[in-house]
């Protein structure tokens, strides 16, 4: 990890490997779901891939192989729980993918990825995974250098025991999506889901 290499100059950190691993991961998952889900349109494949390769999924896979036990961390990062931090675990998982790819090629990397993400892939395809659209949206927005995401209650309707809430999500001065649900949290998730779809559409 970069926190360790900053304290131990002779060691290189993982960021270049993470870059390569991210690309290999994206290719392998894209190829797998493209061949497996032959009737699914491009937009849905994009969402499915995003759910599989998101930080939460990768960090879970990293925990399953106890990858955190082998990460070299700086003292400060270690003291603040970095070994369990999702972002660090996900990045390390991508770096391992890159190492396997460089050592054994795409076939070896593909075997590692598909075996360690098999349950996540299956549950994502079957729709069994709770999709944390708010976190996914936050990750997408941060990639573009922004972080000021806001949620606004637009309306609520119905009796107290059966209300429907309508929420809007935006970033800075942009409105990104609107969603509704039986609770404010559910409506926020729906709004975030709509925002992700809108962002994907705008990138086409």
Active site residues: 22, 94
The CA distance from 121 to 11, in Å, is: 34
Q: Which helix (H) or strand (E) holds 176?
A: strand 174-181
The CA distance from 139 to 199, in Å, is: 12
Pick the closest to residue 31 from 49, 9, 58, 4 (CA basis). Answer: 49
Q: Which two tokens stand for residue 26?
A: 């994206």
The CA distance from 147 to 134, in Å, is: 12
């Amino acid at each position: 990890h970069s926190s360790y290499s900053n304290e131990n100059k002779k060691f290189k950190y993982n960021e270049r490997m993470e870059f390569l691993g991210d690309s290999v991961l994206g290719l392998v998952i894209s190829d797998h779901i493209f061949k497996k889900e032959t009737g699914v349109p491009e937009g849905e494949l994009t969402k499915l891939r995003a759910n599989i390769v998101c930080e939460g999924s990768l960090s879970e896979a990293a925990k399953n192989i106890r990858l955190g036990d082998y990460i070299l961390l700086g003292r400060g990062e270690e003291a603040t729980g970095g070994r369990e931090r999702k972002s660090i675990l996900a990045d390390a998982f991508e770096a391992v993918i890159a190492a396997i790819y460089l050592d054994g090629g795409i076939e070896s990397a593909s075997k590692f990825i598909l075996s360690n993400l098999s349950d996540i892939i299956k549950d994502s395809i079957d729709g069994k995974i709770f999709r944390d659209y708010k976190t996914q949206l936050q990750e997408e927005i941060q990639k573009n250098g922004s972080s000021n995401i806001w949620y606004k209650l637009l309306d609520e309707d119905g009796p107290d025991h059966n209300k429907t809430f309508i929420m809007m999500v935006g970033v800075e001065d942009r409105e990104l999506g609107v969603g509704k649900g039986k609770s404010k949290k559910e409506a926020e998730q729906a709004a975030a889901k709509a925002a992700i779809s809108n962002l994907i559409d705008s990138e086409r």
